[in-house]
A and B are shown apart, each in its own frame.
Chain A
């Protein structure tokens, strides 16, 4: 009887529900042998990979997956699955990465327009110390994921 109750107690403790799952957000994350940038890289995990958090130190999660443990920087992980690109700009901006992102962009564009980002509002608020023309020029400079990959590959060439 006592054994059964103790088992029930252990199951009911708060720690049992604090097991947190985190997901890799970066294109590819490095799993380290210790919570330090200089530690050994033990594995790499692509975006979206889920890990159970079993500890935390400074800017690092101690994580477990398939029985193995390692350290993952908090900079590259979050407790939700990676989102697609989000924009508040008109749909003509920045080729979204996929159809899902394109749908999302249209939704937030509508929200943005409703909140005063229309051209007339922009011109009016220009008097308050903002340069929206320059901002739009900045936003017009766009590179695709494929162009970025090519840039990386070309740079890595010996």
Chain B
């Protein structure tokens, strides 16, 4: 009997070592290296996102308004600091486009169109648009969509493996991954589940940053009357009604913004060129 128990114990000990999940083993090595391994993966993500950002900027020119860009950047940074990726330097730009939309490239490159800025009713709603895009980056949705995965680790490490190589084959793989990511962002859109996930993340980020968690639902409600004509948003995102239904009740929003937030929002948007 005691021999049986001893054998069982040894067996369980073996299972203990073998069954320790890859994530746990990975964490141990990351901790031991002081985060250096993760840093290399972030570098790969930044390189990837930077190329995607350059492609988006070829498709949509920058809206040249330094004061507005700085305001959007400050607003975006005030949201991003409540996220879970302090290693990223988020960057923000306004695109000169009449289409209401926003885009996020890996590594923290966030874009919002001029029309999307103009559609915001107040600072909280503009913050909501940025928060939705920041949530895409935080959740690494593009990397997940491309199914860039290593065998036994997270998507992040898979990105480093794919993009960290040298030589022609690595360059081709890199280029193909960028092409595919741009196609997803501009044409196909992410999976609907990712959009709902980003909405939930945005509500949380807004709340943590001191804005009403309902601001995104309010912004989407503003877009609803023109949904049939906002082709770009419709093409890349789930129906607005479904998104609003999954968010905190817009009607329950207590307030919106402080007088100071309202004043600076109005000030920075007063010269915004309207849609034709």
Residue contact A132 to B54, C-beta cutoff 8 Å: yes
Is A56's beta carbon under 8 Å from chain B?
no
Residue contact B73 to A143, C-beta cutoff 8 Å: yes
B204 neighbours in A (Cβ, 8 Å): 37, 73, 75
Nearest Cβ distance between residue A138 and chain B, in whole angstroms?
A: 4
Interface string of A22-49 (1 = CB under 8 A from B): 0001111110000001100000000100
Residue contact B201 to A75, C-beta cutoff 8 Å: yes
Question: Which residue of chain B has its CB nearest to the CB of A108?
Answer: B43
Q: Given A81-B35, A148-B81, are A141 and B5 neighbors across the interface (CB < 8 Å)?
A: no
Nearest Cβ distance between residue B80 and chain A, in whole angstroms?
A: 9
Contact of B213 among A37, A88, A129 (CB under 8 A): A37
A74 neighbours in B (Cβ, 8 Å): 84
Is B200's beta carbon under 8 Å from chain A?
yes
Number of B interface residues at 8 Å Cβ cutoff, please give it.
78
Is B13's beta carbon under 8 Å from chain A?
yes
Residue contact A76 to B9, C-beta cutoff 8 Å: no
Q: Given A9-B5, A139-B91, A151-B78, are A17 and B86 neighbors across the interface (CB < 8 Å)?
A: no
Q: Which residues of A contact B (CB under 8 A)?
A: 1-2, 5, 8-9, 12-14, 16-18, 20, 25-30, 37-38, 47, 59, 73-88, 94, 104, 108, 111-112, 115-117, 129-132, 134-135, 137-139, 141-143, 145, 147-148, 151-152, 154-158
Q: Which residues of B contact A (CB under 8 A)?
A: 2, 5-6, 8-9, 12-13, 15-16, 19-21, 23-24, 27, 30-31, 34-35, 38-39, 42-43, 46-47, 50-51, 53-55, 57-58, 61-62, 66, 69-70, 73-75, 77-78, 81-89, 91-93, 109, 123, 135, 138-139, 166, 171, 200-201, 203-205, 207-210, 213, 248, 257-261, 264
Known: A9-B12, A143-B70. 12 other contacts (CB 8 A): A14-B12, A26-B83, A26-B84, A86-B88, A115-B166, A117-B50, A130-B54, A130-B58, A134-B62, A141-B66, A147-B74, A154-B264
